[in-house]
Amino acid sequence: MNEMETGTIQEPLLSPDFLEKLEHLRLVARKITLGTTKGERRSRRRGSSVEFADYRDYVRGDDLRFLDWNIYGRLDRLFIKLFHEEEDLHVYVLLDRSRSMDYGEPNKFLQARRFAAALAYIALMGMDRVGIGALSMGRFEWFRPTRGPGQIAKIIRFLEPMEAVGETHLEEGTLQFRVRQTRPGIILLVSDFFDPHGYEESLRILSQGKNEVFAVQILSPDEMDPDLMGALRLLDLETNEPVEISVSGELIRIYRNRLAAYEQQIGQFCARRGIHHLVIRSDADLAGVISASFRKLGLVK
């Protein structure tokens, strides 16, 4: 119940250890993964040309390849060439911040924020714009799309103190996001998808337009494989609604079937709309998951 105990303060979102892994990932990603993806994406988005868009001042850390050496020769000043398509690649991370996420060991919400931070890091390093939306019923926090490696600190400041509040209402959050979304891009919806109002509408809204949507379902180990005994009164974290169960092998078996069917249902729904569906255990090694899963999906290679 108390978010102060979820470890957001004590445990940094991106630990040095984790950052190291991400750095490695970034190096891998740097090997053109994003570029290729971008190219593919670009070809899809005919009309939005590869044209030169603008210059901007070089800041430390920018890719030296994009320095306009001609300008440097003429003006003795360092300018970075900005291309249209780079501006266009927006990566939106929609983070379900409902109370149901604040559950599990390791905590789903913590992992989800880490995931969001990691993706943001990768994307920022890849010169993409990263926008983050945190959604729960009646609440929407928006981190406006921003770019540049320097922004990661801001993003972490945005994510770190965030607490899980309210009920899940993906559709409402998605609509809020759509209002703010200016350009199409890659959208990662990170949630447990335990939405009593249904996740379908949300995904349908996201898949409209020219977005590339990833439905990232994060589940804790004890959600996937409940370790319960005896007569229990299950209390919903969001609604506090009780469900009385007496645990039996039969019930556990039925629950697993239900869960598998639920995942399958989401997977099927996503597949029909060109949405990538991905299930992440909260105890999984995030770097590994990002590298393996997203490589499989073609997000990174």
Partner 1 sequence: MSFLAPLALFFFISVPFVILLYLLKLRRIDKPISSTLLWRQSLEDLKANTPFQKLKTSLLLFLQLLVLILLSLAVARPVLNAVGFEKRSRIILTDVSASMSSTDVSPSRLDQAKTQIGGMIQNLGSGESIMLIAFSEAARVLCPFSDDRRVLLSTLESIQPTGEKTDLEEAFQMALTAAKSQPNPEITIFSDGGFSKLKLDRDPEMPIHFVACGLRGENVGIVSVGTRRNFDAEGQYQISVTIRNSSSESKKIFVDLLSLPDPQTGTAGNVIDAREVSIEAGKPATLVFDDPGYYLNALEVRLDVQDDLPVDNHACVVLPRKEATKVLIVTTGNYFVERALNADPRTRVSTVPPNAFISAEGYDVAVFDQFVPPRLGPGRYLFLGCTPPFPDCGLEGEVEYPAIVDWDRFHPLIRYLEMSDLVVRKAKQMRLPSWGKVLVESNETPLMVLLETENSVSVATGFDLYESDWPLRASFPIFFMNLVDWFLSTDPRGIRLYATGDVLRFPPSETELAATVQLPSGKTREIRLQPDNPTLFADTSETGLYRLVPQQGEAILYACNLISAEETDTTPRTQFTAGTAEIEGVRDIQAQNREIWWPLAFAALLVFLLEWQVYSRKARYEI
Applying CB under 8 A, the residues found at the interface with partner 1 are: 1, 100-101, 103-104, 108, 168, 192, 194, 196, 220, 223, 228-239, 241-248, 250-251, 254-255, 257-259, 262
Min. distance of Cβ 235 from partner 1 in angstroms? Answer: 5
Nearest approach in angstroms of CB 288 to partner 1 is 24
Tell me how many degrees the CA angle 108-120-287 measures, rounded to the nearest 5: 60
**Nearest distance from residue 95's CB to partner 1, in Å?**
16
Q: How far apart are CA 122 and CA 228, in angstroms?
A: 38
DSSP label at 32?
Answer: T
Min CB(248)–partner 1 separation in Å: 4
When the beta carbons of 192 and 212 are compared against partner 1, the nearer one is 192
**CA 54/CA 301 separation, integer angstroms:** 29
Cβ neighbours around 122 below 10 Å, total:
26
Reported residue count of the chain is: 301
The nearest distance, CB 170 to partner 1, in angstroms, is: 13
Is the Cβ–Cβ distance between 91 and 41 less than 8 Å?
no
Is the preceding peptide bond at 106 cis, omega within 30 degrees of 0?
Answer: yes
Question: Closest CB to partner 1 among 179 and 229?
Answer: 229
- CA-wise closest residue to 41 among 83, 82, 90, 92: 90
Return the axis-axis angle of helices 16-30 and 33-44, rounded to nearest 10°: 60
CB of 10 to partner 1, least distance (A): 22
Choice between 64 and 229, CB closer to partner 1: 229
Distance of CA 173 to the CA centre of its chain: 14
Looking at the Cβ atoms of 64 and 243, the one nearer to partner 1 is: 243
Q: Which is nearer to partner 1, 101 or 270 (CB)?
A: 101
Closest distance to partner 1 from the beta carbon of 215 (Å): 17
SS (H, E, C) 170-223: HHHHHHHHHHHCCCCEEEEEEECCCCCCCCHHHHHHHHCCCCEEEEEEEECHHH
Three-class SS of residue 123?
helix
Crossing angle of helices 170-180/200-207, nearest 10°? 20
Q: Which residue, 254 or 292, has its beta carbon nearer to partner 1?
A: 254
Comparison of 86 and 238: residue with beta carbon closer to partner 1: 238
